[in-house]
A and B are shown apart, each in its own frame.
Chain A
């Protein structure tokens, strides 16, 4: 039992189920940043974020868009010579920022996550057209046209339904979720 908890310990607690405190093993070799396909969109590279966590730069880490930009491709995790699950660390930071409401404004990730969780908890399955509606307003016109074309293709080829499908026993599913976690009544 510790008296004062550093930010790096908080992050390590968030990753507890997977690896104890793996971040302290980081060599700062930069393999994660070099292999990351999304790094050019990040405020800080994954290597920098690990360094910042170890330096307890809590506010700077939370204000960065890095962990919400992570595409979860797991290249960094697979290639890390210190065997740190960096993608899992990004998820840990996502959870932390959602639980405390401390993420950068204007990001698509948190809004998407919120819509996704709400949808699953209420209806038991994902429905892409409704999910897309949560982040489309943040796109510019040409992106929206591109998304629209892709959606049309998916619908025409039968890969995406136009109307949501209901699961069997929805009421029971909703009761089950609420037996596991104490959220509110179904809407």
Chain B
């Protein structure tokens, strides 16, 4: 029951990935990384993961969104909980006012904005994992 949970980060920013990877590994998660959506999707198809941490702005634009939609259409991956971590509102060089609108890309997902506090990151990860488990049982 208490087996180590396997997470995967798909994010193109190596510095950011280093940061959250070490936070998650310290909290005893096993963490894989893919630096572009294509490698990421390949990894998702070849290995089973408990949670995906997904960036939005990669490659030619909002490719994280395209990947999330692909996951939603895949019967094997549909149930995978996804934590979207994005700096999109800042990355397109200006902040849009108000709270980010969370479009709910997949059945079980949460949205966090960069920069993420380690404590908040771990809270969101464990609550998503819990929700996914409750849903399964």
Interface residues of A in 58-117 (CB under 8 A from B): 95, 98-101, 110, 113-114, 117
A117 to B94, CA, bound (A): 10
B58 close to A183 (CB less than 8 A)? no
Residue from B37, B93, B96 in contact with A16 in the complex, judged by beta carbons closer than 8 Å: B37
Residue from B35, B38, B59, B96 in contact with A183 in the complex, judged by beta carbons closer than 8 Å: B96
Contact residues in B for A2 (Cβ distance below 8 Å): 35
A14 close to B56 (CB less than 8 A)? no
Identity of the chain A residue whose Cβ is nearest the Cβ of B17 in the assembled complex: A5
Contact residues in B for A10 (Cβ distance below 8 Å): 12, 14, 35
Q: A118 on the interface (CB 8 Å rule)?
A: yes
A-B contact pairs, 23 of them (CB 8 A): A1-B32, A5-B35, A9-B35, A13-B58, A14-B12, A15-B59, A17-B60, A95-B61, A98-B92, A98-B93, A99-B87, A99-B92, A117-B93, A178-B101, A179-B101, A180-B62, A180-B103, A181-B65, A182-B103, A183-B92, A184-B96, A184-B101, A185-B99
B102 close to A182 (CB less than 8 A)? yes
Q: B63 on the interface (CB 8 Å rule)?
A: yes
Q: A142 on the interface (CB 8 Å rule)?
A: no
Question: Which B residues fall within an 8 A CB radius of A?
Answer: 12-14, 32-39, 43, 56-63, 65, 84, 86-103, 111
Given A181-B56, A181-B103, 17 additional A-B pairs, CB 8 A? A1-B33, A2-B35, A9-B35, A16-B36, A98-B92, A101-B90, A114-B93, A178-B103, A179-B101, A180-B103, A181-B62, A181-B88, A182-B86, A182-B102, A183-B101, A184-B99, A185-B97
Contact residues in B for A14 (Cβ distance below 8 Å): 12, 58-60
* From A9, A117, A181, A182, residue with most partner B Cβ within 10 Å: A182
B36 close to A13 (CB less than 8 A)? yes
Q: A167 on the interface (CB 8 Å rule)?
A: no
Given contacts A180-B103, A181-B65, A182-B103, contact A13 B59 (CB under 8 A): yes
B35 close to A185 (CB less than 8 A)? no
A118 to B97, CA, bound (A): 11
Contact residues in B for A17 (Cβ distance below 8 Å): 59-60, 63
Residue from B32, B39, B59, B97 in contact with A187 in the complex, judged by beta carbons closer than 8 Å: B97
Q: A4 on the interface (CB 8 Å rule)?
A: yes
A182 close to B93 (CB less than 8 A)? no
Give chain B nearest CB distance to A56 CB in angstroms. Answer: 12
A16 to B35, CA, bound (A): 11
Contact residues in A for B58 (Cβ distance below 8 Å): 13-14
Q: Mark A1-41, 1 if CB is under 8 A from B, else 0.
A: 11011000110011111100000000000000000000000
Contact residues in B for A100 (Cβ distance below 8 Å): 13, 91
Identity of the chain A residue whose Cβ is nearest the Cβ of B84 in the assembled complex: A182
A117 close to B63 (CB less than 8 A)? no
Contact residues in A for B88 (Cβ distance below 8 Å): 181-183
Contact residues in A for B103 (Cβ distance below 8 Å): 178-182
